[in-house]
Amino acid sequence: MRAETIHYSILPASPEAHLFEVICTVDAPDPAGQRFALPAWIPGSYMIREFARHIVRIEATSRGRRVALEKIDKHTWRAAPCAGPLTVTCEIYAWDLSVRAAHLDQTHGFFNGPSVFLRVLGQEDRPCTVDIRPPRGARYRRWRVATALARAGAREHGFGVYRAADYDDLIDHPVEMGTFTLAAFRACGVPHEIAITGVHDADLARLTRDLKRVCEWHIRFFGEPAPMDRYVFLLTVVGDGYGGLEHRASTALLASRADLPYRGMKATTEGYRRFLGLVSHEYFHTWNVKRIKPAAFAPYDLDRENYTRLLWAFEGFTSYYDDLALVRCGLIDAAQYRELVAKNVTTVLAGSGRRKQSVAESSFDAWIKYYRQDENAPNAVASYYVKGALVGLALDLTIRTRTQGRRSLDDVMRALWRRYGKRGRGVGERDVERVADAVTGLRLGAFFRDAVYGTKDLPLARLLAQAGLDLKPQTGPDAVSLGVRTAAAPDGVKLVNVHDGGAAQAAGLSAGDVMIAVDGLRVTHDSLQSLLARHRAGDVVQVHAFRRDELIARRVRLARAGPPQYELVDQARPKTDSRRLRRRWLGA
């Protein structure tokens, strides 16, 4: 048994130079020449990242002798044939403070397996051990380890040996090392912990109390017992940051420290709501995408793009349930939930990309479009996250209405869990629709054709009205617009996006231009709106701007304001049916 295990060790060899030393030992290398590869991407983040570009040095040895290592493509090496054991040692540069790769300095180390552990081709199914070693030197005496990897000799939170069932398991447990704050709680009996890296003043009692509530809601939603023995939140706090990546028994999170609750904080601030939404999102993924997963991901092909048209169900529905869980478990109130839905509607309706790309197409092209957005993205890309969440909302309300409240999207999710997730079966490209029809007894083909494969706007106003809610545009009738999204620049106002068909585009202004004056008066990000407010649609204003270092002047004919901000309000006298539907939907 032992002879078949792949052994890894990882050492923060040089924190000041951001270098990990990673060693991989294979007892029985391929007699034809063992090949090794580093993944091109990390599951959950659909972009080719080519982690091999961070390998600074790599060499192979066997029984004390150098073995020739030939590089055969951008991320694959082949060792000369040799008797085992064969050891490959790499030095890997780790300076990416995100949830996706690796980061190392004198304050902490963090890594995701795909960015550091070589895959031993042909031996991916073998069990692995990994010796996580502490950096050398007295200054690192207090460092400890947080990870959901199973221990195999290491003490709890200690350096030492951990194990994984196979390569897929090995790379699905990010590891944090350093002097993080640690807090623990149980959710439905399952031990959970949160390790917080970075300067913070978080109220741990409130944090663990609220996280427990979210986690228990999700576990009960899919049904006990939870599919994991323990769960770890690895949270890095920074001045300004936001992100998360899901794993089978943990998640790596990046958040702004101001978003965490502080001692004595009474209300749920907008920032904290955002943080709880992130936690809820990644935790829901423990089921939806880590276990209920597209057939295209079973198994992952780590060498190249893995195409699926289903991310609207895996990211979109997860985005629908992340906020919905918060209102259902009572962490936010119905008014706050209405605001979140209205904000999503505003975001989706603001971009004309929704008319050009369906959420199924957006899923398929995630690798080259959603994940690689440029200044034209609002004009070209539909978000399978935000629009996907609204597809979830529309589908849920459609099912609830058409079945007189007997069925909901909850039943569809639970059926997907029972039929696919629990059994380890991949979800085929049209299976979500099939399961939805089967579970509800409805024929939902037309819904999916328009909402998922089409570019028609969702009938949200009608559906929300059936839940006793009115979706209302907020912009006044005389508001005017340039048709741009802007950001403050040191010398003026930078055009971040220029919307198709808007006034700025018609006048020849482009994303990247920095506006410096309107009608001969200097303009700033703060003064732009008040300058525009003095005009009506049809008025022409003179705009001066810099494109690169060249001054340009353009006459801009102001247009009626573009897509409005929406708000969602309670109907004054909702029907009894609507009240009942809403009570069941929001659980309030």
- In the complex, least distance from residue 245 CB atom to Zn ion, rounded to whole angstroms: 8
**What minimum distance in Å lies between the beta carbon of 305 and Zn ion?**
18
| Closer CB to Zn ion, 78 or 291, in the complex | 291
Alpha-carbon span 405 to 391, nearest angstrom: 18
Residues 93-132 vs Zn ion: string with x where CB under 5 A?
Answer: ----------------------------------------
Q: How far is the CB of 364 from Zn ion (least distance, A)?
A: 17
Contacts of 60 (CB under 8 A, 6+ apart): 66, 67, 68, 69, 77, 79, 86, 87, 88, 89
Least Cβ distance, residue 389 to Zn ion (angstroms)? 11
Quick one: 372 or 462, whose CB is closer to Zn ion?
A: 372
Q: Looking at beta carbons only, is 303 or 322 nearer to Zn ion?
A: 322
Backbone angles phi, psi at 309, to 5 degrees: -95, 15
Q: Which residue has the tokens 């270098």?
A: 19
DSSP 147-183: ESSEESSPPTT-SEEEEESSHHHHTTS-EEEES-EEE
Is the Cβ of residue 54 or residue 290 nearer to Zn ion in the bound state?
290
Site for Zn ion in 299-318 (CB under 5 A): 315
Classified as helix, coil or strand, 108 is strand
The smaller minimum CB distance to Zn ion, of residues 388 and 492, is found at 388
| Residue partners of 534: CB distance under 8 A and separation at least 6 | none
List the x/- string, 315-354, binding to Zn ion by CB under 5 A. Answer: x---------------------------------------
Taking CA atoms, 396 is separated from 39, 317, 577, in Å, by: 37, 10, 16
Residue closer to Zn ion by CB (options 210, 315) is 315
CB 150 within 8 A of CB 248: no
How would you classify residue 84: left for phi > 0, otherwise alpha for psi between -120 and 50, otherwise beta?
A: beta
Please check whether residue 568 is in contact with residue 393, taking contact to mean a CB–CB distance below 8 angstroms.
Answer: no
Q: Closer CB to Zn ion, residue 78 or residue 173?
A: 173
Q: How far is the CB of 243 from Zn ion (least distance, A)?
A: 10
Report the residue closest to Zn ion, judged by CB. 315
Specify the residue, 129 or 280, whose C-beta has the smaller distance to Zn ion. Answer: 280
Rounded least distance, CB 8 to Zn ion, Å: 28
Instruction: Write the single-letter amino acid at 426.
Output: G
Residue list 361-400, contact with Zn ion (CB under 5 A): none
| Angstrom distance (rounded) from CA 251 to CA 350 | 31
* Beta carbon of residue 360, minimum distance to Zn ion (angstroms, whole number): 17
Report, in Å, the least distance between residue 315 CB and Zn ion: 5
CA 248/CA 286 separation, integer angstroms: 5
Site residue total, Zn ion (CB under 5 A): 1
One-letter amino acid for residue 301 of the chain: D
Which parts of this chain interact with Zn ion (CB under 5 A)?
315
